[in-house]
């Protein structure tokens, strides 16, 4: 039995969830999306995801046809229709149907759809042993080009990085910004630990402001760990005591080697494990309930 998909006001079977070949999301990557997780009958940090979704839409001058509260209800109801209490959710807004030209003003209204299913980015063994990463030649987008803070449908910059990671024989890659500072991985934010401090690139380094990233930073502060958002280079990663990635799909995953350099002891560190444990605990109680008793 297939999934039930929300599409422009209706819930339809997966095989009938289709959009026009003239949709500008398909033709030009003109749209925005959110990846969201549900755990233990709750949609984790749904309010933050919806807020970021609307911020992305505003920046590309797309007027969404419903309120943030109504959009949140769409996410919850999509989970209910698929009887899912633990899920990966993809919420998408495209510019809608237009013509073969670029002009977005010729698109009548946005196309909105929501999918709730499952996802596993990395083999479970990697969450225990840690990832090996490489730095790739493709630089992170400039803020003045396709701003990385917009979670847009145009992900070619990230996909180029992922292709280069696969060519190097690893699952994930680090992307550097135009100034040579570390930005993020192709789909995740990056953290290092040095002398007990948790350090991550700032927003202006050319990163997406991750919901999981922000949660982990909050959890670290609660544990008395000093958190710094500052620019750093690969040199700082090579000489870090610990390293890990965060993301909605990836959650929190340790990194043990970068560009052939072993990070710390070569095993996931204590602070990494502590924050992974705290994050997993947080996901069990954070967010609106899907199925109410």
C-alpha span between 211 and 149 (Å, rounded): 12
Q: Give the CATH architecture of domain 124-283.
A: Alpha-Beta Barrel (3.20)
Residue 227 host element (H or E): strand 227-229
Q: Are 184 and 140 in contact (CB under 8 A)?
A: yes
Residue 123's pLDDT is what?
87
Nearest of 243, 228, 144, 262 to residue 192 by alpha carbon: 243
Closest CA to 110 of 156, 173, 54, 45: 54
Residues of the chain with CATH 3.20.10.10: 124-283
* Distance from C-alpha of 210 to C-alpha of 145, rounded to nearest angstrom: 20
**Architecture in CATH for domain 4-117:** 2-Layer Sandwich (3.30)
CA 105 to chain centroid:
29
Residues involved in catalysis: 151
Nearest to 60 by CA among 110, 23, 21, 97: 110
Predicted local confidence at residue 1, as pLDDT: 63
User: Within 13 Å and on the Cβ side, how many CA atoms surround 185?
Assistant: 32
Q: Output the CA–CA distances (angstroms, integers) from residue 268 to 46, 175, 188, 219, 251, in the order listed.
A: 29, 21, 17, 18, 15
- DSSP state at residue 289: B
Instruction: Answer for the pair 31, 152: CB distance below 8 angstroms, yes or no.
Output: yes
| DSSP code of residue 99 | -
CA–CA gap between residue 220 and residue 275 (Å, rounded): 7
Distances from the Cα of 286 to the Cα of 40, 258, 282, angstroms:
10, 33, 6
Q: Are 231 and 224 in contact (CB under 8 A)?
A: no
**Cα 158 off chain centre by:** 11
Question: How would DSSP label each residue in 22-84?
Answer: TBHHHHH--EEEEEEEEETTEETTHHHHHHHHHHHHHHTT---SS-HHHHHHHHHHHHHHTT-
Q: Which of 209, 220, 200, 278 is nearest to 247 (CA)?
A: 209
List every span in the chain annotated with CATH 3.30.470.10: 4-117
| Helix (H/G/I), strand (E/B), else coil: 4 | strand
Burial of 179 (0-12, 13-18, 19+ CB in 10 A): exposed
First-to-final CA distance of the chain: 26
Query: Per residue of the chain (293 residues), what is the pLDDT tens digit?
Result: 699 999 999 999 999 999 999 999 999 999 999 999 999 999 999 999 999 999 999 999 999 999 999 999 999 999 999 999 999 999 999 999 999 999 999 999 999 999 999 888 788 899 999 999 999 999 999 999 999 999 999 999 999 999 999 999 999 999 999 999 999 999 999 999 999 999 999 999 999 999 999 999 999 999 999 999 999 999 999 999 999 999 999 999 999 999 999 999 999 999 999 999 999 999 999 999 999 97
């Amino acid at each position: 039995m297939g999934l039930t998909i929300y599409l422009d006001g209706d819930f339809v079977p997966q095989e009938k969830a289709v959009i026009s070949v003239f949709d500008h999301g398909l033709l030009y990557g003109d749209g925005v999306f959110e990846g969201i997780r549900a755990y233990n009958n709750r949609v984790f940090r749904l309010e933050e995801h919806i807020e970021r979704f609307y911020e992305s839409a505003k920046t590309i001058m797309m007027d969404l046809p419903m309120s943030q509260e109504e959009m949140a209800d769409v996410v919850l109801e999509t989970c209910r229709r698929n009887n899912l209490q633990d899920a990966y959710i993809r919420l998408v807004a495209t510019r809608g149907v237009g013509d073969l030209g670029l002009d977005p003003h010729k698109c009548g209204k946005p196309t909105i759809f929501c999918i709730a299913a499952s996802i596993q980015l990395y083999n479970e063994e990697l969450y225990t042993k840690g990832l090996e990463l490489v730095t790739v030649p493709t630089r992170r987008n400039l803020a003045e080009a396709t701003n990385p803070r917009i979670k847009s449908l145009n992900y070619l910059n990230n996909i180029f990085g992922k292709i280069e990671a696969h060519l190097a024989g690893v699952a994930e890659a680090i992307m550097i910004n135009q100034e040579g500072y570390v930005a993020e991985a192709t789909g995740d934010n990056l953290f290092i630990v040095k002398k007990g401090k948790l350090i991550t690139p700032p927003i202006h380094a050319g990163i997406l402001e991750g919901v999981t990233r922000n949660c982990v930073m909050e959890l670290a502060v609660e544990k008395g760990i000093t958190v710094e958002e500052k620019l750093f280079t690969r040199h700082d990663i090579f000489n870090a005591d610990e390293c890990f990635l965060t993301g909605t799909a990836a959650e929190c995953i340790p990194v043990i080697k970068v560009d052939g350099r072993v990070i710390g002891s070569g095993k996931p560190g204590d602070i990494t494990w502590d924050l992974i444990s705290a994050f997993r605990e947080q996901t069990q109680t954070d967010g609106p309930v899907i199925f109410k008793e």
